[in-house]
Every structure is written in structure tokens, then in C-alpha cells.
Structure 1
Amino acid sequence: MTANRNFKRRVRARAAKTGESYTAALRHFRATPPGESMPKNTALRLSVAQLTVAPDPGDTAALRDSGEQIRRLMREAHAAGARLLHLPEGALTCPDKRVMSATGPQNIGAADWSRTDWATLADELRAITELAGELRLWTVLGSVHRLTAPRRPHLSLYVISDSGTIATRYDERMLSNTKVSHLYTPGSAPVTFTVDGVRFGCSLGMEAAFPEIFLEYERLDVDCVLFSTHGPGTPANNGPFALQAQALAAANSYWVSYAGTAQDAPNAPSGVVAPHGDWLTRCPPEPVPAIATTELDLSAENYARPWRRVARSGLYAQHQAPNDPRSLDRVNP
């Protein structure tokens, strides 16, 4: 297992250095018999979900219902052959600023986190983690992560491995004004992890509005960014985060999995965007829990991504005209 991880690390290091795809870099490490093509073995089946999120982390019954919803969707994803299930922001609990405000719903103030049922949240996360191990299903879900008082919690994505352990955690970095003022402690670093040779990055909340987050993941050589959100849910808003997810996938030439809530589905259902910017699959545009499943196939060459890396490396400087104000090329006819 260690040797296999080291081998993949060497392949990815070459791909990052040269701008090649993973498959192209792999050819330099594996001998291909004469007359045979390189095996296309870098693929992964991904399910993305939408589900109804609960606004009150102190509502024990609602927390247990959220856990049941998640485990039901995990079983559906497993039946669909998925290796990874991606769930939205606040899948376990999605605290509402008006519910949490210590000064009441009309005058939003600091969140009162003492009302949270942390014990039930821990129980539900434990049950989800155990099921992930039973199903051999990587599961990525949004919740809140408790910090030592007086620190506010993180708004997080838990990455649960197929062995039934929490492999890593991503904390939203680019918080909204309300979140950073009254609700959460911001995160500080990107997070990546690899499943079956496919490298994932994590993003959360309103971070689709910050292209630098997604460009950073391009530089970290991810194949797919898992973006979990809880949008405004108003039809007139036209799903800006979903539109931005499309644009970011196309601009960076990787997959983006967009996981929103069931409440937002009529406006922007969950789905997966291909590296060229088109939706590969989407959940139904109805306010109900659902999954959509697709295949991420890394065997196809991706010419746009290495070219952008070359273009950003200073390529154009050698072709630019000298900045001479006397040049006739700069005089309008």
C-alpha cells in the first residue's frame, strides 16, 4: 500500500511539473507492451446529493432525522456503484443566523452555541462514519465542528474514508460577513485527498465567489473540487453559485461537484460539472432528497489545463513588442 502511494505521488509530481495529465505522466513510469495502448484505469464513480437541512442545532429530533436522511442517501449511492458520496453544506445541521442569534431573530447578534445538542451531533456523525466503513463508501458531508470555548465552531466538511474513519476536515475560509461576525471561526488552509487515483479538493459555503480558492486547487493538481453550499433559495436569484461552479470548472479544466440543499433544488439542483463546463448529471429540480451519479474518467487528455499552466509561466513576455512610445505600431492610423 505504501509503495503504491509513493508511486502515485511520483506520477503526480511529474504531472504538476510538466503540465501533463495524470495518464500522460503515467506513461513515463510504466512500460506499455508493443501494439498495446496505455490502460485507462483512472476513473471513479461519484454521487452528489441534495437533502433537506435543519436550521436548529438544538433540535434533537431534527438532528436525528438529518442523520437518517444521510444514511439513506449513502445506501442509495452504494447501490448506484458510487465510491464517493458528496453532500451539501450543513447536511447534519445548518444553523440559521436568526435561530442562533442571542439577541433575537430581528436584531442579529452573536450566536448562542450553548443551545447546540453536541452529543446528538456526535452520535449521528459516529453512525454515519460506521456506515461508510460498512459500505466501503467515501462520504463528504457538511456540519459544524466544535472548538474549545470561547472560540466559535468551524463550518466544516468532514471527509470520511471507506474504512470508516474521518480522513480529514475542511473548514470554510472565505466566510460571509454574517458568518465571520456572529457565527464561525474561519479556516486557514486548502484540503486535498485521493480516492482510487482521483485527487479531490474541498470548498464550502460562498467560496464559489472567490476564484482564487479554485485556482489554488488547480495548482494543487486536483481532478475534482467538491463544492458544498446552502444557497439563498430564491427563484429570482437564478442559482449564482451553480452558475459559478460551471464557470470555475471550465476555467480550471477539472470537475466540480456542486452539492446544494433540497430547499434550493427548484432553483439550483445538485449536480456534477465536467471540465469543459457542461453539467454531466443533476438531481431533480424538486425540494426532495435525491442523488445523481456519474463517472469521472481521467483517461481522456485534457489539453486546456497544461496550456494554461504554460501560458501563466511567462510565455508571452518573449513575444511582446517593446514598450517604446515612439513605435509606429502604437500610433493610430
Structure 2
Amino acid sequence: MRFAVAQTPVRDDPRDVQALRESGREVRTLMREASARGARIVHFPESAICFPDKRVMSVDSPDAVGPADWDRCQWPVLHSELAAIAGLARTLRLWTVIASVHRLTGPNRPHNSLYVISDRGEVVTRYDERLLSKTKVLYMYSPGISPVTFDVGGVRFGCLLGMEVHYPELFAEYEKLDVDCVLLSTTGVSPGAVAAQAQGHAAVNSYWVSLSVPTQHSATAPSGVIAPNGDWLERCTADGSPSVAVVNLDDSSEAAAESVTHARPWRRESRAGIYAEHQVTDPRSEDRTAAF
């Protein structure tokens, strides 16, 4: 599987029509680059179109965080940019995973979501962030309720968003769902820590992790793809510019073979209770104060 991960700038005002349009244009430029480099799927960060700022959206004024007024969002412009992205995905025959706000029926707050757009330009599924930050859940978004997986060319992907990198149980959940690669889109408030945690999750679960973050973090933690052994396979540029990194997700590669072929099956076997038949009853085992 030829796979691409992208990084794009953060724009935080959903009232700004020009900024929304520019974000859409940048996404489509990177889609074309990913396609030209042979990618079958491309993955974008949490802020790819817009990351609405809590103070911009607050009904209590820019000086105080309060409930978000989602009527301030330029919904028609946002939807037209997403439609153009879907149209290009169809033209390029490129699966595209793109973050955006997903509007619900009022007065319900929207979801913070990842749309999975197929190479036919159709939304085949959507992941809604479940474990939100305190500000997000109190003032801005409705949380999601379930994991989401999708398959492309025999490779199974799982989706995570925002601060969910801090919850190892979500990564373990996807291991149980037989994913080959987790797509993590975030704004990366602490990018170095986020990148380190993502490497740990990849190694512990023996699958690929694609970490997609904004360009603002590229100097310390650019977007990239982590192999099942926890090593970086490829990363985007570190100069603050929009870019894509393209890799082959190949479980026969040196970076993946040991983890996928041996480590992951053994962990599953051990968790299934293989140790019970080898446990013994012995006085020196039961006595925790036994001498050497």
C-alpha cells in the first residue's frame, strides 16, 4: 500500500471565508502531489480546513471561554470546500482522510470529525472524536461514541483525533479490531510528547501509526509515518511548509516484519491465557519472604 501523510497550516477562524478557501486549495494541492507520487490514500491533520478557536467562537466575548456560537461558522463555504475535495478524490482515484467539523441538528453541538472519502469521491464513513479535551466537551463539541475502521486494498485503518493520543486504551482497542494502521490527526498542543507517545503506541501494538499535525509544529515534530517497531519511516519537511511524506506500508519490510510476524501474534497468545498451564504450586513461590 502506497500511503501519504500531510501537514497543513492551522487557520482558526471559521468566519473567515478567504481562509477557508485557502485551506481547501492547499489540501487539494497536496492531494495532487500525493497522487503524483503514487499514493492510494492520503491523511490530513485535525486542522486541515479550520480549527475553530475557542475564543473566536465563545458567546461570552473573546476574553472569556464560553459556549461556542456555531452560527458564526461559514457552513456553506466549509461544505463547498469539502465537496471540492471529494470531487478531486474521485478524479485522482485517491482515498482521502480529512478532518472537519460535522454539523448536527440544532441545538446539538457538532462533532469534531474525520471524513473518510473513497477513491470514488464518496464519504464511506466518519470518525467522531470521543475523548475530548475539557474545553471541547464543555463548550464546543458533542463527543463521538465508537471506533471506526475501513479497508483499502487489504489494509485496515483505524481513526483517532485530537488529544486521543493520550489514551492507550483506544490504541489497544484498534489492535483488537485487527487494524494495520491507525490514522491520528491532531493539532499537537505538545508536539514532541505527542510524537513520542505515537511511537510508543505503534511499537506496543505492532502496527503503523500515521501522525498528521499542522505545519506550525514541523520544526519540532513534523507529520510522519511510524513503523510497527516504533521507528519513523518518513516525515514531512521541518521548515513550516505544507508537504506530504509518502511510504509503502509493507509488512514484509525490515521495519515491520519482526513486529507484525512475531511480536503481535505472541502478545495476543499471551493475553489469551497461555501462562496458566505453565504456572506451578511451590512453597518457595508462595512464600514472598523466602530467602534467596
Normalised by the length of structure 1, the TM-score is 0.83
Q: Which moved more, 1:273-282 or 1:295-304?
A: 295-304
1:272 aligns with 2:225: yes
1:115 aligns with 2:68: no
Classify the secondary structure of the residue corresponding to 2:261.
coil
Q: Distance in 2 between matches of 1:217 and 1:295?
A: 21
Report how far residue 238 of structure 1 moved.
5.7
CA contact (8 A) 1:90 1:144 kept: no
Report how far residue 318 of structure 1 moved.
2.6
Report how far residue 153 of structure 1 moved.
0.4
1:56 aligns with 2:9: no
Report how far residue 325 of structure 1 moved.
8.8
1:257 corresponds to: 210
Question: What letter is aligned with 2:84?
Answer: A
Aligned length: 286
1:126 aligns with 2:83: yes
Question: What letter is aligned with 1:243?
Answer: A
Question: What letter is aligned with 1:303?
Answer: H
Question: What letter is aligned with 1:133?
Answer: R
1:247 corresponds to: 200
**Counterpart among 142, 151, 171 of residue 185 in structure 1:** 142
- Percent sequence identity is 57
Q: Distance in 2 between matches of 1:75 and 1:175?
A: 32
Within 5 Å, give how 1:1-333 maps onto structure 2.
Answer: 44-232=1-189, 237=190, 239-299=192-252, 300=257, 302-322=261-281, 327-328=286-287, 330-333=289-292
Work out which of the two has the higher radius of gyration on C-alpha atoms and give 1 or 2.
Answer: 1
Q: Deviations over 1:77-101 (max 9, x none)?
A: 0111000000000211111111111
List gaps (5 residues or longer) in structure 1. 1-43
Classify the secondary structure of the residue corresponding to 2:68.
coil
- Quickly say closer, same or farther: Cα 1:57–1:238, change in 2 above 3 A: closer
CA contact (8 A) 1:87 1:141 kept: yes
Q: Deviations over 1:100-129 (max 9, x none)?
A: 111123221111111000000110010000
CA contact (8 A) 1:87 1:142 kept: yes
Q: Deviations over 1:155-196 (max 9, x none)?
A: 000000001111110000010111101110000010000111
List gaps (5 residues or longer) in structure 2. none
Q: Distance in 1 between matches of 2:72 and 2:130?
A: 24
Report how far residue 263 of structure 1 moved.
1.0
Report how far residue 208 of structure 1 moved.
0.8
Q: Distance in 1 between matches of 2:156 and 2:202?
A: 15
- Quickly say closer, same or farther: Cα 1:106–1:323, change in 2 above 3 A: farther
Report how far residue 288 of structure 1 moved.
1.3
Classify the secondary structure of the residue corresponding to 1:305.
helix
Q: Which moved more, 1:315-324 or 1:94-103?
A: 315-324
- Quickly say closer, same or farther: Cα 1:325–1:164, change in 2 above 3 A: same
Question: What letter is aligned with 1:63?
Answer: L
Classify the secondary structure of the residue corresponding to 1:298.
coil
Q: Distance in 1 between matches of 2:47 and 2:275?
A: 44
Q: Distance in 2 between matches of 1:70 and 1:171?
A: 20
CA contact (8 A) 2:8 2:47 kept: no
Classify the secondary structure of the residue corresponding to 2:275.
helix
Q: Which moved more, 1:88-97 or 1:128-137?
A: 88-97
Q: What is the RMSD computed on CA atoms of the aligned residues?
A: 1.6
Question: What letter is aligned with 1:304?
Answer: A
Normalised by the length of structure 2, the TM-score is 0.94
Q: Distance in 2 between matches of 1:83 and 1:319?
A: 46
